[in-house]
Structure 1
């Protein structure tokens, strides 16, 4: 069994943490358009980007950035 990201939770996390997309952009240097693409599930972020964003949002666990789905292997 393995996991893969399902839906990005950035919009929810911005509300929960009080840290805006603009603030994440300022902290990380990641363009707001790219953050928007992640938040709207137009693209997935790589591991390094996920860690960077998780730290900017002060998350305890980077897994919080996405909901996850289980991939059953036959």
Structure 2
């Protein structure tokens, strides 16, 4: 079994922790357009970026919260 990203939850996580995209831009220096691409699912964050954004949101935020994950079986062969 492996995990694959189903969709980005960035905006939901920001709301949960009381932050905005602008807050993340100011804290991380990541361009607002790029943050928007992540939130809309047009681009997938590298792991380092997800960790950076999660830490900017809240020290208790787990980077895995930024996406909805689904499991798929490994193909045999």
State the TM-score, normalizing by the size of structure 2: 0.90
Partner of 1:60: 61
Please show how residues 1-74 of structure 1 align to structure 2 within 5 Å: 1-58=1-58, 59-74=60-75
Structure 1: segments with no counterpart, 5+ residues: none
Aligned residues: 74
C-alpha distance in structure 1 between counterparts of 2:28 and 2:68, whole Å: 22
C-alpha distance in structure 2 between counterparts of 1:6 and 1:44, whole Å:
11
Alpha-carbon distance between aligned partners in 2 of 1:55 and 1:5, rounded to the nearest angstrom: 20
How far does the alpha carbon of each residue in 1:33-68 deviate from its partner, in whole angstroms, 9 at most, with x for none? 000000000010000000000000114311101000
Moved over 4 A (4+): none
2:42 aligns to what SS in structure 1?
coil
Structure 1 Cα separation of the partners of residues 4 and 28 of structure 2? 24
Q: Separation in 1 of the partners of 2:42 and 2:63?
A: 19
